[in-house]
Structure 1
Amino acid sequence: MPHERSGPAAYLAASQHLIDRCDLLLAVWDGSPATSSGGTADAVAYARDRGRSIEVVWPEGTRRS
């Protein structure tokens, strides 16, 4: 990846790189909208835009801490 440091832009670029090469995105995600760039919501949106199959996993009763 072309990023020298980790951060939102690097996370998004890595997600896009993987999504461009996958048939199915398995996302562990609570469905919350993005609060910053490069998170799971952005990865899911990118996958949807590219017509990828998406399976969201968030067990009932699970909470963020």
Structure 2
Amino acid sequence: MPLPESNREAYLTASEHVMANADERVAVWDGSPPDGAGGTADVVHTARQRGIPVTVGWPAGSVR
């Protein structure tokens, strides 16, 4: 993505691009609640709201 920094804006922009161009999402997520736009929880929630299937891989030790 043509953004100069790796920050929330860049994460959100990249996630929007992927959601617009993919039929399914795969996320590695520990189940933590959202902590801001562009984070994994936010992206998983947004994809599901849009009807995009999401497969979540749970890291060892994560809380569900």
Q: TM-score, normalised by structure 2?
A: 0.79
Give the corresponding residue for 1:41. 41
Distance in 1, matches of 2:43 and 2:37, equals 10
What stretches of structure 2 of length at least 5 have no aligned partner? none
By how many angstroms is 1:4 displaced?
A: 2.5
Give the corresponding residue for 1:30. 30
Give the percent of matched residue pairs that are identical in Structure 1 and Structure 2: 48
Aligned length: 62
1:2-44 CA distance string (max 9 Å, x none): 5332210110110110111111111100111112321101111
Q: TM-score, normalised by structure 1?
A: 0.78
What stretches of structure 1 of length at least 5 have no aligned partner? none
Runs of 4+ in 1 over 4 A off after TM superposition: none
